[in-house]
Structure 1
Amino acid sequence: MYRVLIVDDEPEIRQGLRLKVDWESMGFQLAGEAANGTEAMERLADEAIDVVLTDMNMPVMDGISFLDACREQYPLLRLIVITGYEDFQYAKAAIRNQARNYLLKPVARDELTEALASVRSELDEQRRHRDQEAVIRWRLSQYYKEMKEHFIVRLVKDEPDSFRLDRDRSRLFELESWDGKTVRFMTVGLQERSDEDASPERTPDKFRLPLDAICRECAEQFRDEIHVFRDANYPGLMHFVLPDNKESRQAFAEALSRNVSAFLGFELAVGVGQPVTGFGQWKEGYTTSLLDWSLHGSGMPEDLRRSAGQAALPEETVKVIGRYLSRGEQEAFERAVRRELQEAIGMSKARFYKVIFQLYLAIESVASDARIPLESGDQLWLRPEIALGLDSTEKAVQFLNRLALKIVNRLKSDSGEADSSLIKAAQKFIDDHYMYDLNLTMIAERFNYNPSYFSEMFKAKVGKTFIQYVNEVRMKQAVRLLEETTLSLWDIAELTGFSNASYFSSKFKRMYGMTPSDYRQRASVKFESENPKK
């Protein structure tokens, strides 16, 4: 609704104007009345007004002075002049102050309706233009970038059966065309300095933020042809999604290496994954990039490195092995690991090394979910040379089993607090993934609990049901989007995980006692009153 202020010193004229138009059906709301220009200026200073219907011959502050003041202080205000005096000076003043119409009393119903319809069209066009600008600003905002990066991380780490929803959501981040592209992933990180002058204060982990900044700045220069992201499981690494074009990929890697060397004084280790097509293969592409980076400093010959990225354990196999570990089934874990390693070493050394890294990544994922830190000396992505020392099945099994035992023992020692830790981990997962389709069964299975038991435990520990918690997290983000953007309710519903705008509006009204549109309007009026137009 556009807000209208009627300004006339005659009460019966103001009443007549109120009754001549079906304001609500035309998209207008009568915000109030004023008897002269001075009262009107006070109203304009206190609240947001879009349209003013004003008389010209008024006491205290006449129409000409009022129009001059409006033009100076509120240049976007729409003015419709109404007067009973066919005086050229009034018409001239109205034209000078860009009044949208000049109507003579008594005002005919159809003339006023036509004038208001014209103003409404102008305001609609202005709003569309403003909304487009707001969307552009939002897309450039840090919030949008963070959500886009989170979306990419989900694509490279989640299950294939979730990609149908991701394809629908990809349009919000202008990534829908990437689902049909053949791409490669690139992983980069700083190499340890081996020179004698290397200072203990100049280690790669001390330069994570500068590396992050350089990577993002370099990616920006390639506009939308390169997407950059970070994975919290690998804080020292940066990752990129690029079209499968060798020349442009090499040009980007060389530019990145030059900048890192010039500004940070480190050499850059670069890993490149195998080509993949479609969101459903992005996880495999990302894994091969991680593996190639991990093997970069291992001393493995280049051809062996590349072939190591061509074969992988099936995703379901990795999930089963990870589930053994998270449940504390140490013997089942060791048997499965030994079986896969024996099969891999019988096929090729390259496949054997890749299986080692895949199994390590599965262990690391379980440790991350359980919030159990692995020592830096055990992290293959920091110490890829360790992998070359695992040149037999028995050595590899011992290494992986030792890491698994640390996790199992820690889980057992923390058994008294296990439930609380698990609920905190589940809450963090919800906080990070609220925009996606979440349900209790899926979360319970992720943390290896019976859904009924998990539901009861969640309510006991959190003080509210699983659904209540998810809705509160989503609503908190929805309120932020309502206050900070002009995105449609459909987009906000989609971005915050609600199935559709109607359901979102219903839940919002139940929680806040008003519709999302009313909330946005109230927030907008409050903002305008706190920050009056100059």
Structure 2
Amino acid sequence: MYSVFLVEDEIVIRDGLKASFPWEQAGFAYVGDAADGEMALPLIRQTKPDVLITDIRMPFMDGIALSKMIRKELPDTRIIIISGFDDFSYAQEAINIGVDNYILKPITKDKLGDVMSEVKIKLDKENEKNNYLEQFKEESQEYEQFARVKFFNQLVNGTMSVLEVYERSEELGLSLDATHYNLVLLDFTPMTGVAAAPAYSKQMARLSEQLMQYLKCCPEYIVFHWSMDTYAIIVKGDESTIESHTSNLIENIKRRCMVYEDEINWYLAESGILTRFSEFAKGCQVANKRLSCRYMNPAGHIFTDDDIEAIKNSEDNAEASIDQRLVSLFLENAEESEIQGFLSNLISKQTKNALNSTMFCKYFAMTMYMCVCDYLRKLSIDPNEALEDDTRRAIENVNCQTVMELVEKMFEVAISKRKNLVGKQSKSQLAAAIKYVDEHYGDSNLSLNEVAKEVNISPSYLSAMFSRENKTTFVEYMTSRRMEHAKHMLLSTNEKAQVIAEKVGYKDPHYFSYIFKKTYGISPKEFRAKGQG
């Protein structure tokens, strides 16, 4: 039901229309009235009616002035002007500013009924269009979208100016208009030690869907699929709300993840409050360093600076020694961007002091070298071929100024080799996924989750990989296949659009027409006529 607001200075007409016309029966809820534009404006701003009916000639603020303001502030509100024969020049001016209709006095029930029926038809069509737009947005709103991930990486790397951040975020439909932000990293690293893409898990698929539905309903959160196992969530607010928005987010994530704690690993860390876009790069580093604690404490979940200090001061680190099991766990699961944070957390205060000794630097570098070699062998890779020829010589000549750079390079090699190996296997799965879409896009129930299950890979991993490798999302690819087949059928058969819609995977022929026009700029009927012509 649509809402309607009436502005009329003659009380007899106003009360008569309010009482005598069957508003609800016509599909409208009567939400208020006023005697002139000045009194009406604050009430209209409050009720935001779908339809405004206003007289032209009124004291204080007439219908023309009121209509101009409403057209500017509430562009979706339909405006109907009430006028007398003597006011026709005013009515012409009203039409020029974009009113939808006008009613000549005296107003009869039938005359008002006809006008309201026309307005309702317009509103229904507009509402249908908006519903299709929302459905399309919902279907195509994949958080792994290549453009979104690229934007986020540029944001946290500090490679965009403030103006560029605003322009790019507006292009992507991302609202970055808050005064305060927080960056939350949510990670689902399986910690299996297996060099392969994460297998399909019903629990993980269900959890991801629940989390995304929750985040999508909250305008204070913007989510990105940052890496294969990690989501980045930007929390928005002001000075008084940013902390509560962050705590609400963490509590909701915790509550949902705890349900699957026996089957799924989950880890979380936040950057702390940010007030400038230029602070995102530093904030991401802070959150990443905190999150890297998961390799030292895989049983933990939410990591802060207190965890970093606890690790550095733990009894296990009382001596200047390195737990090689933690290094292996890191190499098996980490991203290159996490290396510095991990090494910083790995080194206790005692170890840090010991690194002032050249002898200990050599021991440390050699220990890391052996860990990397062991891991490369697990991947069936010859360390002598993977690492640079002068690595052993560099270890012999290492000192406190060069040791960390050397270790970082060795770690980068190991992680890169693992990712290349996983990538080759994943590409095979991606090819199988694409083949499955090509064969089943006519199924209206086809979904990312179904395809992921078919090729035995995590839905979020498949979606991220799809976007990275093809520079398009899963939904965009599926839609393009459907539209290509629809074009072929429109030109080569006499099938009705409704039949074609069903054959290419759309239950609703109107939605099919909407998608077709959005894709090609013309309706299926126009495309067929143009092609035949």
Q: Same fold (TM over 0.5)?
A: no
Give the TM-score range, shorter chain: 0.3 to 0.5
Q: TM-score, normalised by structure 1?
A: 0.35
Structure 2 length-normalised TM: 0.35
